[in-house]
């Protein structure tokens, strides 16, 4: 097996050499090699337009480096981790914008562009480009449309050119996620004159042309692109949207085999990789020449989820009983070797300490209390049920499910564990036919009303628990359009407290973003999209 990996490594290095026009230990100086960041990823980059329908997550993530937005989230040092950062949802900085003003009533956002901002072809960034880009985002058949709607950005009529460097955005009501959406990967800015010239009248939004071309101002230009295989980036030294990246050149290569990606970084033939198998991560944590970062994902969750519209889990007492019986710490250790942000065991003195969600809830293992709750619900002898998870979740869900089965047996609940094929599991989630399941997911933003809107209200498939609570639904709508931060925090904490009491899902842990890098690479940031932004990275 190892011999096969070595052969594959040699083959891949040859491909990477070809991709950058002859780079390699035998042909390039040590300095040129040091100036190239080599990242190997599991996903394919199938388009250069991050918002085209069908763009892969890797394609969307790449656009952080190739396209600018008007604004971007700041980052802050990760507590206890030198040289590692996490995004700050509460603070924004300008990217193409020099400054942004919000009116006193919160209904008008005025964007003033940087006077020195230019497109990669050297032409200036203008208000016409911004207006066209925002019109495209809410009008064209792209992925931007649905996401920007969550920030009340829905119509071209909302975007008005004030002068060559200024754009005014009007909101129908105060929406605290409007600026957050403008900072997201779903609001890239395009060189509209270039798109119109190259794409032509038959493709007014450049949907076809932009799949293999860029019209951008970002920190990196696309030097070469082989869809599904590799992208080579060169630094845009005229970029003014932030701190200039350290690496003049970046290679992003698709390598589906996780063992091969691990071997490449371990050998020093690649600098960064993600999505490795647990056994490779465990081995590399003890290696000298690499470092493994396992950063909890702030907006993500893993949970035991109850179907609140199906007996007996339609009774909050039953859900509370199960939540009190779960062996949280043992599940975390067995499923993910202890690597995850704990979403249990919180000690609340006066309700939720924060308005962000997910956050740790005041649940922990208490078998006596669980038995009492179950008896109060009318099930002193327990009952029979099923716990389901999908095949693609098996690496962590299988050990977790075994512990759930064992723990619930202690309070009389007999659990049949079922591992379902992915299509069958997806259908069952959509049709709401499972009484109890193990699942994980994440929201784009760590905003309580945003999370609850997606996962804890309405009839969408993402409301895994089918939880319907009229008080919470009213709080969600009120909080979404609340301009006062203190009032918003009060509303958010109220909905969090209700969810903690009624337990539509028993939160377990935040899954980690696992990144393996060469020992000399630093600057990694956990972003809301959970992909590596190559602009952040440098070499010691």
Are 48 and 218 in contact by the 8 Å Cβ rule? The answer is no
The pTM (predicted TM-score) of the whole model is 0.88
Please, what are the domains in the chain? Answer: 1-67+218-289+516-540 (3.40.190.10), 68-201 (3.90.76.10), 300-510 (3.10.105.10)
Which token pair is 459? Answer: 């009839």
What was the pLDDT predicted at 81? 73
What CA–CA distance (Å, rounded) separates 332 from 452?
24
What CA–CA distance (Å, rounded) separates 67 from 396?
36
Tell me which DSSP letter residue 52 carries.
B
What was the pLDDT predicted at 500? 97
For residue 50, the number of C-alpha atoms closer than 13 Å in the C-beta half-sphere is 26
What are the beta bridge partners of residue 290?
A: 518
What CA–CA distance (Å, rounded) separates 364 from 57?
35
Are 467 and 460 in contact by the 8 Å Cβ rule? The answer is no
What CA–CA distance (Å, rounded) separates 370 from 375?
9
Q: What is the DSSP secondary-structure string of 143-205?
A: THHHHHHTTT---GGGEEEEETTEEEEE-SS--TTHHHHHTSTT-----HHHHHHHH-TTSTT
Residue that is written with structure tokens 């979403």 in the block: 343
Measured in degrees and rounded to the nearest 5, phi and psi for residue 411 equal -115, 15
What was the pLDDT predicted at 1? 35
What was the pLDDT predicted at 517? 97
What CA–CA distance (Å, rounded) separates 479 from 489?
8
* Sequence-ordered list of residues with C-beta below 8 angstroms from that of 214, at least 6 positions apart, any chain: 48, 66, 67, 120, 221, 222
What was the pLDDT predicted at 276? 93
What CA–CA distance (Å, rounded) separates 117 from 119?
7
Residue that is written with structure tokens 């490779």 in the block: 280
- Tens digits of pLDDT across the chain (540 residues): 333 333 343 444 444 434 434 333 333 344 477 899 999 999 999 999 999 999 999 999 999 999 999 999 999 998 767 778 999 999 999 999 999 999 999 999 999 999 999 999 999 999 999 999 999 999 999 999 999 999 999 999 999 999 999 999 999 999 989 999 999 999 999 999 999 999 989 999 999 999 999 999 999 999 999 999 999 999 999 999 999 999 999 999 999 999 999 999 999 999 999 999 989 999 999 998 999 999 999 999 999 999 999 999 999 999 999 999 999 999 999 999 999 999 999 999 999 999 999 999 999 999 999 999 999 999 999 999 999 999 999 999 999 999 999 999 999 999 999 999 999 999 999 999 999 999 999 999 989 999 999 999 999 899 999 999 999 999 999 999 998 999 999 999 999 999 999 999 999 999 999 999 999 999 999 999 999 999 999 998
* Sequence-ordered list of residues with C-beta below 8 angstroms from that of 150, at least 6 positions apart, any chain: 177, 181, 450, 453
Give the max Cα distance, the chain.
76
Reported in sequence order, the residue ranges of 381-533 that DSSP labels E, i.e. its strands, are 384-390, 414-420, 436-442, 505-510, 512-518, 521-522, 525-526
What was the pLDDT predicted at 516? 97
Strand-pair category, 220-226 with 36-41: unpaired
């Amino acid at each position: 097996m190892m011999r096969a990996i070595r052969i594959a490594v040699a083959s891949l290095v040859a491909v990477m050499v070809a991709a950058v026009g002859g780079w390699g230990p035998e042909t390039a100086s040590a300095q040129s090699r040091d100036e190239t960041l080599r990242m190997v990823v599991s996903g394919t980059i199938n388009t250069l337009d991050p918002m085209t329908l069908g763009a892969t997550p890797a394609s969307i993530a790449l656009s952080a480096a190739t396209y600018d937005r008007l604004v971007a989230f700041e980052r802050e040092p990760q507590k206890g981790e030198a040289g590692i950062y996490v995004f700050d949802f509460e603070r924004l900085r300008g990217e193409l914008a020099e400054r942004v003003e919000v009116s006193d009533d919160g209904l008008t956002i005025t964007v003033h562009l940087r006077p020195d901002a230019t497109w990669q072809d050297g032409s200036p960034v203008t208000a016409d480009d911004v207006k066209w880009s925002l019109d495209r985002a809410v009008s064209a058949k792209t992925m931007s449309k649905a996401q920007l709607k969550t920030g009340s950005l829905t119509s071209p009529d909302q975007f008005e050119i004030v002068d060559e460097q200024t754009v005014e955005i009007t909101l129908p009501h105060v929406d605290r996620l409007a600026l957050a959406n403008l900072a997201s990967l779903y609001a890239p800015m395009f060189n509209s004159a270039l798109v119109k010239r190259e794409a032509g009248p038959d493709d007014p939004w450049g949907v076809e042309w932009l799949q293999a071309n860029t019209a951008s101002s970002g920190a990196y230009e696309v030097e070469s692109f082989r869809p599904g295989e590799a992208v080579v980036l060169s630094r845009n030294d005229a970029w003014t949207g932030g701190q200039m990246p350290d690496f003049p050149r970046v290679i992003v290569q698709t390598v589906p085999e996780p063992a091969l990606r691990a071997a490449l970084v371990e050998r020093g033939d690649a600098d960064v990789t993600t999505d490795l198998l647990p056994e490779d991560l465990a081995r590399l944590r003890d290696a000298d020449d690499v470092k493994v970062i396992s950063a909890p994902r702030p907006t993500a969750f893993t949970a035991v989820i109850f179907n609140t519209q199906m007996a007996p889990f339609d009774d909050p007492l039953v859900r509370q009983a199960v939540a009190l019986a779960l062996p949280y710490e043992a599940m975390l250790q067995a499923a993910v070797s202890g690597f995850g942000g704990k979403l249990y065991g919180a000690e609340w003195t006066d309700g939720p300490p924060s308005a962000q969600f997910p956050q740790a809830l005041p649940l922990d293992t208490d078998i006596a209390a669980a038995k009492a709750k179950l008896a109060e619900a009318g099930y002193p002898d327990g009952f029979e049920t099923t716990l389901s998870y999908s095949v693609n979740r098996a690496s962590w869900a299988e050990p977790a499910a075994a512990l759930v089965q064992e723990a619930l047996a202690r309070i009389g609940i007999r659990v049949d564990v079922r591992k379902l094929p992915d299509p069958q599991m997806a259908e069952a989630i959509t049709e709401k036919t499972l009484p109890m399941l193990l699942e994980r997911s994440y929201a784009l933003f760590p905003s309580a009303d945003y999370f609850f809107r997606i996962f804890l209200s309405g009839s969408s498939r993402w409301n895994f628990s089918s939880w319907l609570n009229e008080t919470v639904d009213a709080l969600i709508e009120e909080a979404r359009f609340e301009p006062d931060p203190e009032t918003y925090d009060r509303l958010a904490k109220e909905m969090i407290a209700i969810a903690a009491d009624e337990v539509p899902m028993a939160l377990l842990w935040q899954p980690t973003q696992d990144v393996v890098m060469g020992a000399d690479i630093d600057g990694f940031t956990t972003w809301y999209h959970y992909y590596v932004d190559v602009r952040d990275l440098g070499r010691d």
